Amino acid sequence: MRKSDFFEQIGKDKVKCTLCPHYCILSENQTGLCFGRKNISGDLIAVNYEKALTIADDPIEKKPLYHYHPGSMIVSVAQYGCNLKCPFCQNYDISQDSRETGRLPIEGLYNLLKSKNRKSVAFTYTEPLMWYEYILDFGKKYSDEIDIVLVTNGTVNENPLKNIIPYIRAVNVDLKSFNEDYYKKELHGDLDAVKKSIMLFYQNNVHIEITHLLIPEKTDNLDEFKSMTDFIASVSNEIPFHISRYFPNYKYTLSPTPIEKMKEFYDEASSKLKYVYLGNVSENDFENTLCPKCKFLLIERNNYSVVSKLKTPFCPECNEKINIIL
């Protein structure tokens, strides 16, 4: 365990966590919404520090990251807990409760990466920014050798994010909706915080991609979607955007997103953004990367099989600059 970097003491017995917009106020022995922080003797302690629940070797495309070292493998690591309560969560069995875990010191993670000859690590599956101190300490010690990737909901306060950003190389931010009421009532989240995180990542030269889960009757309002893509384009129309097909999970029993609706929203996003992809659909053409200028096939994907024609970040057909890290 380790003392949290962001909290305030309130009187003798209570503490207020300032890591994320929930600002949990905790009495003695009380744990925060994310399950990762606990008031112990008047200090806020990161009780999830060094507690790794899942370790896997993944294709980078699984994050999904399509413009960051395409075709490479990355070690994925997760702790338990999350600061959102999404009723459609695919990893609810590990995100919505605390769990017994193994211990993985930062030195142990580094040694694991070296033994697998991996140069990058993804903190993913649950909410990595609730594992804040562990990632920060790992970054301070090893980010010159290891690239750190986050797959995050982006629900974090500005100061903590600014503090950790220098150690982050790439992120995929899950922009779950563009409706503030939906964020608050169904996800227990904060849309404004996510938007600020996206802007901060981009402004600080972190490679960023964005994912949106298209859920029937929930996040498939076309006007809201247009506002979302307008916002992304206002940050940069070169941010890769992944529209993911919903399937029933956890508390949501709605039918899967119709393919025709996925294509409709793909067309809408493509009118504003240069790189748009569909996830969880059977038609692989929507996974390919095309030159935004001449439409030359740059990278062909078939699930996690990747064939790239890019040797430099320029289209070999028309020399258009491509927003990609090879």
Do 181 and 219 belong together in one domain? Answer: yes
Q: Report phi then psi at 320, rounded to 5.
A: -65, 135
* pTM strictly above 0.95: yes
Do 29 and 68 belong together in one domain? Answer: no
* CATH code of the domain containing 89: 3.20.20.70
- How far apart are alpha carbons 186 and 74 in whole angstroms? 32
- How far apart are alpha carbons 19 and 16 in whole angstroms? 9
Do 39 and 136 belong together in one domain? Answer: no
- 319 located within any domain: no
pLDDT for 164 equals 98
Do 104 and 33 belong together in one domain? Answer: no
Do 132 and 73 belong together in one domain? Answer: yes
Do 35 and 92 belong together in one domain? Answer: no
For the chain, strand residue ranges (E) read 2-3, 7-10, 14-17, 25-26, 37-40, 43-46, 51-52, 54-59, 73-78, 102-103, 120-123, 147-152, 170-174, 207-214, 241-245, 276-279, 289-290, 297-302, 305-308
Domain that holds residue 215: 51-308
Residue 82 · residue 126 · CB < 8 Å: yes
Longest distance between any two alpha carbons in the chain, whole Å:
67
Torsion sign (Cα): 109, 114, 117, 119: positive
- How far apart are alpha carbons 205 and 44 in whole angstroms? 31
DSSP assignment letter at 234: H
Do 26 and 70 belong together in one domain? Answer: no
- 324 located within any domain: no
Do 285 and 188 belong together in one domain? Answer: yes
Do 200 and 250 belong together in one domain? Answer: yes
How many folded domains does the chain comprise? 2
Do 286 and 137 belong together in one domain? Answer: yes
Neighbours of 56 (CB within 10 A): 13
- 92 located within any domain: yes
pLDDT for 103 equals 94
Do 56 and 41 belong together in one domain? Answer: no
Q: How do the pLDDT tens digits run along the chain, 326 residues long?
A: 899 999 999 988 999 999 999 999 999 999 999 999 999 999 999 999 999 999 999 999 999 999 999 999 999 999 999 999 999 999 999 999 888 888 999 999 999 999 999 999 999 999 999 999 999 999 999 999 999 999 999 999 999 999 999 999 999 999 999 999 999 999 999 999 999 999 999 999 999 999 999 999 999 999 999 999 999 999 999 999 999 999 999 999 999 999 999 999 999 999 999 999 999 998 889 999 999 999 999 999 998 999 999 999 999 999 999 999 99
